[in-house]
Amino acid sequence: MDYAMNELEQEVLNATRELAQKKLKPLRAEMDIKEEFSHEMLEEYRKSGMFGLWLPEKYGGLGGGITCLAMAFEELSRVCAGLALTPGTTALGAIPMFLAATAEQRERWCYDLATGKKLWAFALTEPEAGSDATALKTTATKDGDYYVVNGTKHFISTGKEADFYTVAVNTNPSRGARGISLLVIEKGTPGFTFGKKEQKMGIRTNPTYELIFENVRVPKANLLGSEGRGLLYLQETLDYSRPGVAAQAVGIAQGALDETIPYLRTRKQFGQPIITFQALAHKVAELAAKTEAGRALVYSITHKMDSEFLPAVAAALENGTPVHDELKKLKGARWTKYSAEAKLFCANTAMEVADECVTLCGGIAYTREFPLEKYMRDAKITQIYEGTVHIQKNEIATALIKEYASQGE
């Protein structure tokens, strides 16, 4: 099913599928065991234009929007969710910048972003501020033309490999959530160092590090938007990025099925392929249906998002304004509920599909000889990052309560 793809989206889908099969697949097992970042794949992503899929042509991108990004993320994750995170986490780190940046800031950062010359990362989570982003302790105090940043972030994907980090800080702790702001901090800035590297269950090919800020002087010119508006930009970012996690989950589920169905067709017991046993065939059918339903949900949402996102980007380029401001003028939909629904359903589906596929294939699937154990390990993170499944349920429930309250019911 093509999900009403336009010509560009179809080209992106085909090219990414080919890249994943030819370049990514031969590396996935080795890099997972080594738990190393692949600079070889980084170069392949750069050559393919992967980093610029969603960015405007003005900056060297393809202008494909959120849908193209999600499609690419699904196809890459279908082969290896960990290696897929190189362009994925760069998009996550750059989306808040792109939404809130002035025209001058876009000029400074977007060209190297589109080519992949510079990688980005998103730094929100802290030891005491995970699901509760309002509890963050990292501070940024004004000192002349600079902010002085102190604090620690952890579980930061792409770790040491990024060049720029979009960092959530508190510029006015007395105001709580309304004191949160976003700063762009460049690697190599004095006082900015890295702590421990996490030893993870899954997505091992993407390094996850602790970031430490000790009196780091960041130019005021690196503030995104206005002081105290950081939480708004973060929520807007997650609205656009959570469908990407959902797409990753769909890719993991589809990848698990891609490995399982051929095995069930060739594995024989009692003189016949085990997929001919009705119990197994029906389970596969159920898993495939849920995976397809997740895919349909993701792309129905991203296409609607792009119907507002792409015109807002065009207006921002024409008017020299932040994309966030142009989105506000459109008075379009708030995507929080829909993004949360996609992430919740697809993440749970990925975990179920991977788990059931391991069971269907039996002992071989519990070994590293067969890639299903990796799909199962990788699937779990989709239920955790960018808000756990419980956070997604909270978002959905809150939106529903408001909807029905507004109807007077």
What amino acid positions are annotated as catalytic residues? Answer: 386
DSSP 8-state assignment for residue 53: T
d(CA 153, CA 142) in angstroms, rounded, equals: 20
Straight-line distance from the first to the last Cα atom of the chain, in angstroms, rounded to the nearest whole number = 38
d(CA 237, CA 327) in angstroms, rounded, equals: 13
Q: Could you tell me the two tokens for 164?
A: 């720029």
d(CA 36, CA 363) in angstroms, rounded, equals: 27
The answer to whether 234 and 133 are in contact (CB under 8 A) is: yes
The answer to whether 265 and 120 are in contact (CB under 8 A) is: no
Element (H, E) at 111: helix 103-115
The answer to whether 96 and 237 are in contact (CB under 8 A) is: yes
d(CA 95, CA 313) in angstroms, rounded, equals: 12
State the Rg of the chain over Cα.
Answer: 21
% helix / strand / coil in the chain, to the nearest 5? 65, 15, 20
**Residue whose pair of structure tokens reads 């960015």 in the numeric block:** 55
d(CA 398, CA 384) in angstroms, rounded, equals: 19
d(CA 205, CA 69) in angstroms, rounded, equals: 20
C-alpha distances out from residue 238 to 79, 320, 369, 386, Å: 24, 24, 36, 7
